[in-house]
Amino acid sequence: MTKKSWYRTWFDSPYYHILYQNRDKKEAANFIDNILRELQPKTEARFLDLACGNGRHSIFVNEKGYNVTGVDLSENNIRQARKYESDTLSFRVHDMREPFLQNGFDFVLNLFTSFGYFETNEENLRVLKAANFNLVDGGILVIDFMNVTKVAKKLRTDERLEFNGIEFEISRRVENDLIEKQIVVHDGGKKFNFKEKVAAFSKDAFHKYLRLSGFEIVNTFGNYKLDPFDASESERLILIAKKTQ
């Protein structure tokens, strides 16, 4: 039997949502407001949310009046997200490395560090090339990624958390240009092991791979308020890239 990739196992697990249950929904909604103000999409604009999770960003964009499709590899995530479907909001199980709909969207969103999951840079490059395929000419890709410089500098190596009697032991490290997280879950006398692994892409690395994928970066921001990016201090690396070829 083929062993499942870490992202298929972890993102489809109920423990993933328990661990991250306290994500700031207000902050996410404000970020969407700020991004839409920056992008100035037309009323008829179509959005594709890559690696949409359970759909929270897709829902926020749709509430602003836009047609949104959210895609994710996790069947459990999509099952949850589909509770919110409407005539202008839909969700599909899809691998973001693969093309979805040629010239089908004006904007592609990839938010909350939902990039760099795969084993090779070639696979990560496929994500960007697929995003290019999905966009109309001149379409816009938005990537919201961690600022790896600050993350590596302030990495909390060990942490213990508890939610409703479920204990999480978390260890983190930076190795081989990857930020790795080992997660041990203790639940009712049972023990489960998971991992997260994200490529430590810097701003310069993104510039390189976006150019190779037919994009030009038109703006860079450092947080959800869209303040300028500072490599040593910014919380996030938010890239706005235009399809040029």
121-128 average pLDDT score: 96
pLDDT for 86 equals 98
Q: Is residue 154 part of a domain?
A: no
User: CA of 171: how far to CAs of 87, 147, 151, 187, in Å?
Assistant: 43, 19, 14, 18
Helix H or strand E encompassing 153:
helix 148-153
pLDDT for 203 equals 95
What integer best gives the mean pLDDT of the chain?
Answer: 94
- Residue 119: pLDDT band (50, 70, 90) is confident
CATH number of 96's domain: 3.40.50.150
Cα(23)–Cα(93) distance, integer angstroms: 23
Q: Which residues of 31-69 are buried (b: 16+ CB within 10 A; e: fewer)?
A: bbebbbeebebeeebbbbbbbbbbbbbbbbbbeeebbbb
Tokens of 31: 């970020």
pLDDT for 2 equals 46
Domains contained in the chain, number: 1
CA-closest candidate to residue 111, choices 26, 52, 64, 33: 52
Count of C-beta atoms within a 10 Å radius of residue 231: 14
pLDDT for 159 equals 94
Q: Is residue 142 part of a domain?
A: yes
CA-closest candidate to residue 124, choices 220, 240, 205, 10: 205
pLDDT by residue (tens digit) across 45-62? 999 999 999 999 999 999
Q: Is residue 190 part of a domain?
A: no
135-139 average pLDDT score: 98
177-195 average pLDDT score: 95
Q: Is residue 3 part of a domain?
A: no
pLDDT by residue (tens digit) across 65-88? 999 999 999 999 999 999 999 999
pLDDT for 20 equals 87
Q: Is residue 84 part of a domain?
A: yes
Q: Are 104 and 133 in contact (CB under 8 A)?
A: no
Q: Give the pTM.
A: 0.94
pLDDT for 3 equals 61
Q: Is residue 188 part of a domain?
A: no
Q: How many helices (H) and strands (E) does the chain have?
A: 8, 11
pLDDT by residue (tens digit) across 148-177? 999 988 888 999 999 999 999 999 999 888
pLDDT by residue (tens digit) across 98-111? 999 999 999 999 99
131-146 average pLDDT score: 98
pLDDT for 17 equals 87
pLDDT by residue (tens digit) across 202-225? 999 999 999 999 999 999 999 999
User: CA of 5: how far to CAs of 8, 81, 106, 118, 119, in Å?
Assistant: 5, 22, 31, 9, 9
Question: Does 1 score more than 60 pLDDT?
Answer: no
Tokens of 126: 């496929």
CA-closest candidate to residue 114, choices 236, 234, 3: 236
Q: Are 114 and 51 in contact (CB under 8 A)?
A: yes
What residues contact residue 189 under an 8 Å CB cut-off, 6+ apart?
A: none
The domain containing residue 50 runs over which residues?
24-146+201-243
Percent share of the chain, pLDDT over 90: 88
Question: Does 22 score more than 90 pLDDT?
Answer: no
